[in-house]
Structure 1
Amino acid sequence: MYLLIINPRSGGGAGQRTWQSVEGMLHSRGIPHEPLFTQNADRAETQVLGALARRDDWRAAIVIGGDGTIHSVLGALRRRGVPLAVIPAGSGNDTARGFGIPLATEAALEAALQDRCLEADLLSGAGGLTLTAVASGFDAQVAVNVNNGFYKRLCNAIGAGQLAYIIGILHTLMTFKPCRVSVTCDGKEQAFEKAWLVSICNLPSYGGGLLICPQAEADDGLLDVCVVHGCSRMQVLRLFPTLLKGTHVALPFVTMLRGHSVAVHFAQARHAIGDGEPLGTAPLAVRCEPGALRVLSPLAAAREQGAAGPCQASV
């Protein structure tokens, strides 16, 4: 039995359209499933916990939605030991990208039904669990502006979710002011002047495919950190096209770090986000929890024996 967790409003209505397509495919193949609709992130974990408690033969929880929908149910899936599968229907869909899950609905469903799992790490902090990245500073402010702006809804409506982030970058660039930041990675503290952003990543990309930490791997037990500091607004603007290929890591105003735990303290209050969802403006303390979540992923077959295997829910 599969639990389908559907956010019908994700991606400007893409969640509902995707669910209708998936429902037809599941019925035509006689695959047992139960739908659960959720639109409120604050209630999603409770809803999912309640659904998972009703039976003990769940093969996986398949989320139809975006990164924010996935974020809202991480605690429930980890607590109940049920594997996560993703059929992307959001604006950014970076969780799907990071796990090699196709963006096309039918192909994503096929990946969800293959029963091959990756033992993925989770990022744990005061704000709860995160799967893709915890970002603070400029890019978090971009996300806040995008989520609060009318242009996200407009871009989703025309199927151009990534365009909303580009508009958000230009919007934020006009008003954001960099400041000093202290970053402590595995107990070693470093200070950076005129810091624009600090991103703590478990997957290579966020923001709709921007490769902030291109070397990040979901199952290596490590956090990858990108710090952008000491540069002008024009340099920041020129930085973003390089994120599409991850070539920014060689720039002199970009510092890459790696470790098991990271603390971030800006001299001035800065927004932070986890999986694109707001985490407030308090200083960050994030640690890696290795292998905390099993994810149905096409990448599983490519991993060494022992790093991945058949999914078995331990409810």
Structure 2
Amino acid sequence: MYLLIINSRSGGGAGLRTWHTVEAMLKARAIPHEALFTQSADSAENQVLHALARREDWRAAIVIGGDGTIHSVLGALRRRGVPLGVIPAGSGNDTARGFGIPLTPEAALDNALQDRCLEADLLSGADGLTLTAVASGFDAQVAVNVNNSRYKRLCNAIGAGRLAYIIGILHTLITFKSCRVSVTCDGREQTFDRAWLVSVCNLPSYGGGLLICPQAESGDGLLDVCVVHGISRGQLLRLFPTVVKGKHVALPYVTMLRGRSVAVHFAQPRHAIGDGEGLGTAPLAVRCEPGALRVLSPLAAAGAQGAAGPCHASG
């Protein structure tokens, strides 16, 4: 039995459209399933926990939505030991990208039914669990601005989720100011002046495919950190095209770190996000929880790091 977790509003309505496509395929194949429509991010975890508690034979929980929808149910899946399947229907879909999951509903469903899992790490902090990245500073402010904008809905409506983030970058660049930041990685503290952003990553990309930590691997037990500091607004603007291909990591004003725990403290309050969802403006402290989640991924068959082979829910 599969639990389908659907966010109808994800991706500007793409969640509901994708569900209709997936539902037809499940019925045509006579695959046992139950549909659960999440009402809000705040209530999604309890909804999923209650659904998973009703029976012991769940093969997987398949999320139809974006990274934020996945984020809202991580605690429930980890607690119940049920593998995560993803049928992407959001703006960024970086979880799907990070695990090699196809972006089309048909192919993504086929992957979710293959019963091949990766053991993935999670980022754990005071605000709960995160799968892709915890970002703070400029790019977090971009996400906050995009999520509160009208242009996000318009871009989603035309299938151009990444364009919303590009507009958000230009929007945020006008008002955002850099400041000093302290980053402590595995107990070693470093201070950076005129810091723009600090991103703690478990997967290579966020923001619709921006390769902020291209070397990040979901199952290596480590967090990858990107700090951008000591540059002007113009230099920051020129930096972003290099992030699309991950070429920024070699630049002198980009510092890359790696460790099992990371704390970030900006000199002035700065927004933070986890999987694109707001985490407030308090200083960050996150740690890696190795192998805390099983994810249905085609990379498992390819023998990627963290591959666990066939996966079955533990109940």
Is TM (by shorter chain) over 0.5?
Answer: yes
Q: 2:219 aligns to what?
A: 219
Letter in 2 for 1:253: Y
Trace 1:289-300 onto structure 2 (pairs within 5 A): 289-300=289-300
Per-residue deviation at 1:188? 0.4
Q: 1:248 aligns to what?
A: 248
Trace 1:267-282 onto structure 2 (pairs within 5 A): 267-282=267-282
C-alpha spacing 1:305/1:275, structure 2 compared with 1 (3 Å): closer
C-alpha spacing 1:278/1:305, structure 2 compared with 1 (3 Å): closer
CA distance in structure 2 between the aligned counterparts of 1:149 and 1:292, rounded to whole angstroms: 34
Letter in 1 for 2:139: D
Letter in 2 for 1:39: Q
Trace 1:105-116 onto structure 2 (pairs within 5 A): 105-116=105-116
What TM-score, normalized by structure 1, do the two folds share? 0.99
Determine whether 1:148 maps to 2:131.
no
SS at match of 2:153: helix
Per-residue deviation at 1:39? 3.1
Q: Is the 8 A contact 2:2 2:32 kept in 1?
A: yes
SS at match of 2:63: strand
C-alpha spacing 1:305/1:235, structure 2 compared with 1 (3 Å): closer
Per-residue deviation at 1:158? 1.1
Q: 2:91 aligns to what?
A: 91
Q: 2:206 aligns to what?
A: 206
Per-residue deviation at 1:304? 6.1
Q: 1:287 aligns to what?
A: 287
Q: 2:52 aligns to what?
A: 52
Trace 1:297-308 onto structure 2 (pairs within 5 A): 297-303=297-303, 307-308=307-308
SS at match of 2:314: coil
CA distance in structure 2 between the aligned counterparts of 1:64 and 1:195, rounded to whole angstroms: 36
C-alpha spacing 1:171/1:114, structure 2 compared with 1 (3 Å): same
Q: Is the 8 A contact 2:218 2:306 kept in 1?
A: no
Q: 1:13 aligns to what?
A: 13
Quote the sequence identity (%): 85
What TM-score, normalized by structure 2, do the two folds share? 0.99
Q: 1:257 aligns to what?
A: 257
Query: 1:181-222 CA distances to partner (integer Å, 9 max, x unpaired)?
Result: 000000000000000000000000000000000000000000
Letter in 2 for 1:125: G
Q: Is the 8 A contact 1:301 1:308 kept in 2?
A: no
CA distance in structure 1 between the aligned counterparts of 2:229 and 2:263, rounded to whole angstroms: 17
CA distance in structure 1 between the aligned counterparts of 2:302 and 2:225, rounded to whole angstroms: 25
Q: Is the 8 A contact 2:299 2:307 kept in 1?
A: no
| Unpaired stretches in structure 1, ≥5 consecutive residues | none
Trace 1:160-179 onto structure 2 (pairs within 5 A): 160-179=160-179
SS at match of 1:171: helix
Letter in 2 for 1:5: I
CA distance in structure 1 between the aligned counterparts of 2:305 and 2:158, rounded to whole angstroms: 43
Q: How many residues are aligned here?
A: 315
Letter in 1 for 2:137: G
Q: Is the 8 A contact 1:179 1:195 kept in 2?
A: yes
CA distance in structure 2 between the aligned counterparts of 1:266 and 1:31, rounded to whole angstroms: 50
What is the root-mean-square deviation of aligned Cα atoms in Å?
A: 0.9
Query: 1:76-100 CA distances to partner (integer Å, 9 max, x unpaired)?
Result: 0000000000000000000000000
Determine whether 1:25 maps to 2:25.
yes
